[in-house]
Amino acid sequence: MAGRTDVRAGWILLRDGEPAPPARGAQPGEVRDPATVPRGALQTPGPERRGPLNRALLTARITSEEGEPMFPVERGHVKRLGADDALALQALLERCRDFLELTHEAPRPGAAREFLNNLPNGKTLEDKFVLGLYAEGADELAGVIDIVRHWPIRDEWIIGTFLLEPTRRNTGLGASVHRDLEQWVRGQGATGLRLVVQVQNPAGLRFWQRQGYAITGQTVQRTHVRENIIHLLRKPLDT
């Protein structure tokens, strides 16, 4: 079965009407239907070590406007990215080429703009949140999260990409930001979070399991450059 991909956007798009490979052991509702398989996975080369945290939270309001704060985080702030942020996002993707090469391919020119606009079948940009992480005292992006609501089923959100630049990994930042992200999606009525991890990224799998995610199945992710076996993960949320 052939497929096409935009590795920067985090979604594997299958040909219309072509079913995805069956997920072994997946629960009902897992991502294995026609449409898409998300890339998602934490970009971390090894076990995450907790670094010193600034416990002061920024005051932020939930908003859907690009450039506005989305939710409070420790040691920085998160805002929704848009077209005006494409250059900064492209630079982040270039700095994170180690992970992209591990799982797909190196970022190409124009990767950021495609990242901002790529969607699973049946979704609109209103359902997609590309969230930029800015660390305290820094002007450049420290990370990015691509998350889509109500996918693959209503009230479930799926993380297509959770990316930290190399200098921010293994500091506790990933776990801290994920806690704040989880709290925010709970407030939006989410009942579960989903993502996938490639088998060649065992450090990423360990990270997500420490955050409370469990493997629900396994399937094959096919792109125009490679084939990956991926774990499907889900974390139920108490609302």
pLDDT tens-digit readout, 124-172:
999 999 999 998 877 889 999 999 999 999 999 999 999 999 999 999 9
The CATH number of domain 40-215 is 3.40.630.30: yes
Q: Pull the structure tokens for residue 117.
A: 């606009």
Query: How many Cβ atoms sit within 10 Å of the Cβ of residue 60?
Result: 17
pLDDT tens-digit readout, 32-50:
333 334 444 343 333 333 3
- pLDDT > 70 fraction of the chain, expressed in percent and rounded: 71
Nearest Cα neighbor of 141 from 90, 204, 193, 216 is 90
Report phi then psi at 169, rounded to 5: -80, 160
Could you tell me the residue ranges of all domains in the chain?
40-215
Q: Judge whether 28 and 18 are in contact, CB under 8 Å.
A: no
